[in-house]
Structure 1
Amino acid sequence: MSDDFSFSSLTPDLILDAIESLSIYPQSGLIALNSYENRVYQFVCDDNKRYVVKFYRPQRWTDQQIVEEHIFAQQLAEAEVPMVAPLIINQQSLHHHQGYRFTLYPSVGGRAFENDNLDHLEWMGRFIGRIHQVGHQQAFTHRPSISTKEYLLDAQKVILECPMLPSGIELPFKTIVQQLVERCCQAYQVADYTQLRLHGDCHAGNILWRDGPFFVDLDDSRMGPAIQDIWMMLSGERNQQLLQLETMIEGYEEFSSFDPRELKLIEPLRAMRMVHYMGWIAKRWADPAFQHSFSWFAEQRYWEQQILAFKEQLAALEEEPLRLMSGL
């Protein structure tokens, strides 16, 4: 496995050599697709079919963890869930070339998902229910679970050691982060909830719409509570979120039962995502692609805005959780 997590040695020639090592010969240029954690490119093959090749960031997942992701995607596709699954080539889905791990996928087009469209959200509820129906069938052995250690404690350490943290606001920033992490650790209790294999990062950017939803990118798939794949679909004011939630759960329950106690995990999970996101950027800052795409991370204004955002989220943790109008 390469020690260079920044992909600086992943040249166009190396990419083409890797693809051609599978007897697949691109006839077009490589079009870079939107991905920060990995490197993803679309191309047309000599059979006039479009493919996507994904190079995994070194040092993030083990081979066993990546293969578990692929198996889950294939199980979903076999269950007729619209999931883009990796291609099996030479009896393998994960391939190696000069220190990099990579996978090929069929290229799937579609338009953006409308998360304010109730009809779309009902479809989403049904398909997330179907994903979880498959997810319940077995547990991951190698991939992790959503935990406060990774999403809060480890991320907090990375953030507070980040050289971009402005010295002038260091004390108030550290104080609010500590308060949010402590309160969230108290609020996120999963011992009484069923853990299952999740999509893990189920937001509008990972959904294509083609006469219905088409799911992509299980890169963050892991064990966790079902609500993790639902809450990121919610948007707007509280009343709007209640209607969206009711619509999704109605579709969800056609295929999987939903434990309404999990609704109290929405705000803790939101807080965990906020802290983890900051920690993710700080951890990857040595990658030039991150410095280019997230240049605002080095600006004091961003860190000041995060103090306000964390204060608002701390207040949200004290509010009454969303409740289903149907009384589930």
Structure 2
Amino acid sequence: MATPIHPFEALRPERVVAAIESLGFEVLGEPFALNSYENRVYAWRDDTQQRWVAKFYRPERWNSAQILEEHAFLAELDRNDVKVGAAWSDDDGKTLHDFEGFRFTLFRHVIGQAPELDNPAHLFALGELLGRMHSVAGRIAFIDRPSMQPEAIMTSSRERVLASNWMTLRQRQAYQRISAALLELIPLPNWPSSHMIRVHGDCHIGNMLGRDDEFALVDFDDCCMAPAVQDIWMLLTAQNEQEWRQQLAEVLEGYEQYGEFPRSELKWIEALRTLRLMRHSAWLVDRWDDPAFPVAFPWVASEGYWDQHIRTLEQQRHALERPPWLA
């Protein structure tokens, strides 16, 4: 039996160009594929040398209402002077477009580089950006986008990894044991509703671009309802208490130019880190039928990857039992 063709294999450069040009643009040269695996994202220039990004959504991940709610959030942030990569709309106000079975959106290119998390000025600026964003995000709730629910995410991730054939019997037994222990240690099945706001959801440095101390947020593909700390914790990368507290102080000083940060949420950082670790491995397993994944992540097929993942989860067990530096 022939192996099914993944939908993204049909997204050839000529189809990308044809999709963009169907909206009335002229594309100069061939679009350049950016490092995006969940979706397919291309940088390109129009005939005026304006730089753009075209994002083609993974089929069957988000429904159109969820994507449009992301776009509406971006437009709301843009109107309130929060620096984001907002979606382009045509003369009819449409931001989500269809071409030969693919849904796609155009964004103006955001110029800049990733921040340096050991630079206090950058941390302060990122705190300002997130504080301004959350001051707008807290006004209303998402209706169609998901809510981050710790127990559901961990349970689903655990089941998907265990249903795969990647691990040896020894590794499977170790993963079953440690993932069950982590599930027992998460602080609560769902975050309290009073702490849930609209968040970016994936605030790593690759999604923050700028120059000097001016940054913008890009790629809201994971935006959801979650605690505010979800957009903060990945900025805290220091490996000792003094430097960690210095990073946190700079971020919160910037953040609190626009509103008080709920410090009680800091105790959830290790739970959030655990969710991300478990969900990432489940994501790799889920997406292995996409030809881009074996090329980009070949180590997933090795025993060494799963041994390291299990060791990392063991470290998280200790962190959940004794959250560092948060007392």
Q: TM-score range by the shorter chain?
A: over 0.9
Output one character per residue of 1:224-252: Cα deviation in whole Å (capped at 9) or x when no partner.
Answer: 10000000100122322111112111111
The match for 1:310 is 313
Check the 8 A contact 1:87/1:105 in 2, yes or no. Answer: yes
Report the Cα distance in structure 2 between the residues aligned to 1:154 and 1:84, rounded to whole angstroms: 31
Note the 1:146-165 alignment, pairs <5 A: 146-165=148-167
Check the 8 A contact 2:271/2:320 in 1, yes or no. Answer: yes
Report the Cα distance in structure 1 between the residues aligned to 2:132 and 2:266, rounded to whole angstroms: 19
Residue 48 of structure 1: CA displacement?
1.8
The match for 1:258 is 261
Check the 8 A contact 1:70/1:93 in 2, yes or no. Answer: yes
The match for 1:25 is 26
Residue 319 of structure 1: CA displacement?
1.1
The partner residue of 2:99 within 97, 102, 111 is: 97
The partner residue of 1:124 within 119, 123, 126 is: 126
Output one character per residue of 1:50-100: Cα deviation in whole Å (capped at 9) or x when no partner.
Answer: 111000001110101001111111111111111110111131111011111
Q: Is residue 2:292 matched to residue 1:289?
A: yes
How has the CA–CA distance of structure 1 residues 181 and 208 changed in structure 2, closer, same or farther, with 3 Å as cutoff? same
Residue 176 of structure 1: CA displacement?
1.1
Report the Cα distance in structure 2 between the residues aligned to 1:9 and 1:51, rounded to whole angstroms: 22
Residue 309 of structure 1: CA displacement?
0.5
One-letter code aligned to 2:269: I
Secondary structure of the corresponding residue to residue 232 of structure 1? helix
More displaced 10-residue stretch of structure 1: 149-158 or 90-99: 149-158
The partner residue of 1:242 within 241, 245, 262 is: 245
What is the aligned-residue identity percentage?
39
Report the Cα distance in structure 1 between the residues aligned to 2:189 and 2:207, rounded to whole angstroms: 25
More displaced 10-residue stretch of structure 1: 108-117 or 297-306: 108-117
Report the Cα distance in structure 2 between the residues aligned to 1:268 and 1:208, rounded to whole angstroms: 27
Secondary structure of the corresponding residue to residue 27 of structure 2? coil
Check the 8 A contact 2:129/2:216 in 1, yes or no. Answer: no
Report the Cα distance in structure 2 between the residues aligned to 1:16 and 1:64, rounded to whole angstroms: 25
One-letter code aligned to 1:16: V
Residue 300 of structure 1: CA displacement?
0.2
Check the 8 A contact 1:6/1:286 in 2, yes or no. Answer: no
Check the 8 A contact 2:114/2:209 in 1, yes or no. Answer: yes
Secondary structure of the corresponding residue to residue 275 of structure 1? helix
Note the 1:80-229 alignment, pairs <5 A: 80-90=81-91, 91-184=93-186, 186-187=187-188, 189-191=190-192, 193-211=194-212, 212-229=214-231
Report the Cα distance in structure 1 between the residues aligned to 2:259 and 2:173, rounded to whole angstroms: 46
How has the CA–CA distance of structure 1 residues 187 and 311 changed in structure 2, closer, same or farther, with 3 Å as cutoff? farther
Output one character per residue of 1:239-269: Cα deviation in whole Å (capped at 9) or x when no partner.
Answer: 2211111211111111022121101110100
Check the 8 A contact 2:151/2:183 in 1, yes or no. Answer: no
Residue 138 of structure 1: CA displacement?
1.1
Report the Cα distance in structure 2 between the residues aligned to 1:265 and 1:233, rounded to whole angstroms: 15
More displaced 10-residue stretch of structure 1: 103-112 or 125-134: 103-112
Report the Cα distance in structure 1 between the residues aligned to 2:230 and 2:8, rounded to whole angstroms: 30
One-letter code aligned to 1:251: G
One-letter code aligned to 2:35: N
One-letter code aligned to 1:50: R
How has the CA–CA distance of structure 1 residues 5 and 156 changed in structure 2, closer, same or farther, with 3 Å as cutoff? farther
The match for 2:277 is 274
How has the CA–CA distance of structure 1 residues 17 and 101 changed in structure 2, closer, same or farther, with 3 Å as cutoff? same
Check the 8 A contact 1:234/1:241 in 2, yes or no. Answer: yes
Normalising by the residue count of structure 1, what TM-score does the alignment of the two structures yield? 0.93
Structure 1, unaligned stretches of length 5 or more?
A: none
Normalising by the residue count of structure 2, what TM-score does the alignment of the two structures yield? 0.94
One-letter code aligned to 1:256: G
One-letter code aligned to 2:154: L
Check the 8 A contact 1:126/1:254 in 2, yes or no. Answer: yes
Output one character per residue of 1:100-142: Cα deviation in whole Å (capped at 9) or x when no partner.
Answer: 1100011122122101111110111111000001101111010
Report the Cα distance in structure 2 between the residues aligned to 1:13 and 1:320, rounded to whole angstroms: 51
How has the CA–CA distance of structure 1 residues 57 and 214 changed in structure 2, closer, same or farther, with 3 Å as cutoff? same
More displaced 10-residue stretch of structure 1: 42-51 or 30-39: 42-51
Secondary structure of the corresponding residue to residue 121 of structure 1? helix
Output one character per residue of 1:177-225: Cα deviation in whole Å (capped at 9) or x when no partner.
Answer: 22112322x4565226421100110111111122311211000000010
